[in-house]
A and B are shown apart, each in its own frame.
Chain A
């Protein structure tokens, strides 16, 4: 029997940014909140987006009405811009917006489902499981682990899709955390030799990092997944 190694990326329940100027390009979310920013662009990981208006701004900010009865709201669009009251919260459909490298770019109110942002507005995104958020490999696919610098290590797995390149899981950890990480991988691979179980190796859900070894002795902070190709 062999075990199955389960990993889940760092994703928070929610994260917010505050607009420093009146632009539709939001500041990047914090890597401490959402994990590695590079290639963090799977829009289907975002369940909902809300905007809290700092000072109202009158009409001309939104072209969307929100039905506040579901986490993924049923949206009713209107051709009339809404009057935005100070401190009110409006929700927009994530799939209507752009998201790349941890940065949201919202459509302005002239576009269906858009919302024109103003200085001081707070944009909050809510995460869910999406493309490549979580993954598992059989132990037999594990090819090894290498320390690439004092606080980074790479796990190599046989590709899920089977082309010429391997899948890489990059883990940021405490300085000199490689030994602890390597020991944890050994234990994950060899635990329950008569069963064959799903082993939580690193789980970054809801803004926490939980590892197989309790207390996270390797000091793992982020986990990034680079499969051979998207699908």
Chain B
């Protein structure tokens, strides 16, 4: 059996309402794109099997650093890059001797039981998520 990471996302809800939480196999990841200076969306193969419209996890992160002097160079901010880079690290993490459960972001801490030390609240750079599924 081939081991694979499973990527876990949970909103601030209680995992008891539609799109409160979702988990995808790492192989379902299709890519990511910036949506605004404060949001980056991660796309996954949809769970409905049609492959026509991807599922998405919209991640909110820090805005550009305020430059109160002259407003120059807000473009160079790398908040989105940090999120992408850390996500890639999590997705690729070699978790031998674990069960490969990978928390990308958990905003409610209602983690599944028995996850022990590998559980965490995920990437600190992500402050909110919105889950879109099909």
Contacts and interface: CB of A to CB of B under 8 A. Distances in A.
User: Main SS of the interface on chain B?
Assistant: mixed
Contacts, number: 134
A135 B64 contact: no
A205 interface: yes
A129 B77 contact: yes
A11 B68 CA distance: 21
Interface in B39-93: 41, 43, 45-46, 51-54, 56, 64, 66-68, 71-77, 79-81, 84-85, 88-89, 91-92
A69 B68 contact: yes
A133 interface: yes
Nearest to B69: A71
Contact of B77 (A128, A141, A157, A162): A128
Nearest to A167: B31
A161 interface: yes
A41 interface: no
Interface in A1-48: 1-4, 6, 11-14, 44, 47-48
A134 B81 contact: yes
B35 interface: yes
A44 B34 CA distance: 11
Most buried by B among A14, A128, A130: A128
B29 interface: yes
Given A44-B36, A197-B92, A138 B75 contact: no
B92 A126 contact: no
Contact of B51 (A130, A132, A162): A162
Contacts of A141: 30-31
A129 B64 contact: yes
B53 A134 contact: no
Given A129-B34, A129-B37, A136 B43 contact: no
A136 B84 contact: yes
B72 A126 contact: yes
Please name the 9 residue pairs, one residue from A and one from B, whose CB atoms are nearest each other, closest first: A196-B92, A13-B73, A135-B33, A137-B31, A128-B74, A127-B75, A198-B88, A198-B85, A71-B71
Interface of A: 1-4, 6, 11-14, 44, 47-48, 50, 69-72, 91, 126-138, 141, 157-163, 195-198, 205-206, 227, 231
